[in-house]
Amino acid sequence: MKIKVPASSANLGPGFDSIGVAISLYLTIEVIGESDHWQVDHNLGYLPSGKDNMIVQAALSVKPDLTPQHLRVESDIPLAHGLGSSSSAIVGGIELADQLGQLNLAPHEKIEIAAQLEGHPDNVAPTILGSLVVGCKVNGHFTAVKAPVPPFAMIAYIPAYNLKTSDARAVLPKQLSFKEAVQASAVANTVVAALFAQDYEKAGELMEADLFHERYRSKLVPELEIIRNVGHEHGAVATYLSGAGPTIMSMVDPQHISDFVEAVREAGLKDGIRRLEVAPRGAFWQK
């Protein structure tokens, strides 16, 4: 049996720690069989290959007495690039525990567990539900709502360098003034309304009007401004920093993909461009 878990792209501009979209890069977990200890064969370099692996830890947080398994893990999701690699691992572990432990967890239960482990719902919720999802934490519990699938290609520029989330958060201000917070949340609220109304022209305009984080993080990812300017001339609905970065995601009209990609390359960013799609389906099992 195999579990396939999509990547995710969070924030979409002003939806900081709240909005995310499932992306067509995948973590695949193959269950080889029971073992006397946890064994995780993977292609992910320095990550643990035993009980300390994040997938196993997530599974054991759901069902501590889960029988050890021999797993084979492969991933297309770059680490430390703002594409939700840790969230996909957490969700994969929850799915593993749910299936092997015959727990029959509902989607909202999976989101609650995953978001408690991750700290916020913007990556884990779309990874579980698919499509585009808006979520929040209220009274200690997480909730999320699934939006329509945006009808655009997701063109990612994935730089060769890494950017740790901790470093990307370190450049953010510790607080905003009341006036700034009200304005920033108003922009985010209107983005959500536009996405659900499928008014993508308005949504795209406001996705590039974030006041929470991009103006601070753009100093760490100078390619954001370059690609955003290209997008304005070559068919992108919006360009935003994916999660904490450094990946930059552009929502592009399918008719303009070739033109957009060529223009990005002409701007000097020749490597690291990936044509992706919104993944309409969240984590799932294959036999």
Whichever domain contains 177, its CATH number is 3.30.70.890
Please enumerate in sequence order all residues whose Cβ is within 8 A of that of 161, keeping only pairs 6 or more positions apart, or say none.
246
| Residue 250 marked in a binding site | no
**Is residue 148 annotated as involved in ligand binding?**
no
Instruction: Give the model confidence (pLDDT) of 119-133 as tens digits.
Output: 999 999 999 999 999
Q: What is the pLDDT of residue 181?
A: 96
49 marked as binding residue:
no
Given a cut of 90, whether residue 141 has pLDDT beyond it is yes
How does residue 287 score in pLDDT terms, banded at 50, 70 and 90?
confident
Q: Is 81 annotated as a binding residue?
A: yes
Q: Is 85 annotated as a binding residue?
A: yes
84 is in an annotated binding site: yes
Residue 79, annotated as binding a ligand: yes
Q: Which band of pLDDT confidence, cut at 50, 70 and 90, is reported for residue 39?
A: very high
86 is in an annotated binding site: yes
The mean predicted confidence, pLDDT, of the chain is 95
Handedness of CA 98, 104, 107, 113 (dihedral sign): negative
pLDDT tens sequence across 85-102 = 999 999 999 999 999 999
Residue 11, token pair as written in the block: 């924030």
Q: What distance in Å separates the CA atoms of residue 242 and residue 247, rounded to the nearest whole number? A: 5
Closest CA to 100 of 130, 143, 55, 142: 55
Q: Any idea what the CATH number is for the domain that residue 38 is in?
A: 3.30.230.10
Residue 56 and residue 176 share a domain: no
pLDDT of residue 9: 98
Residues 118, 187 within the same domain: no
Query: What pLDDT is attached to residue 48?
Result: 87
Range of the domain at 10: 2-148+280-286
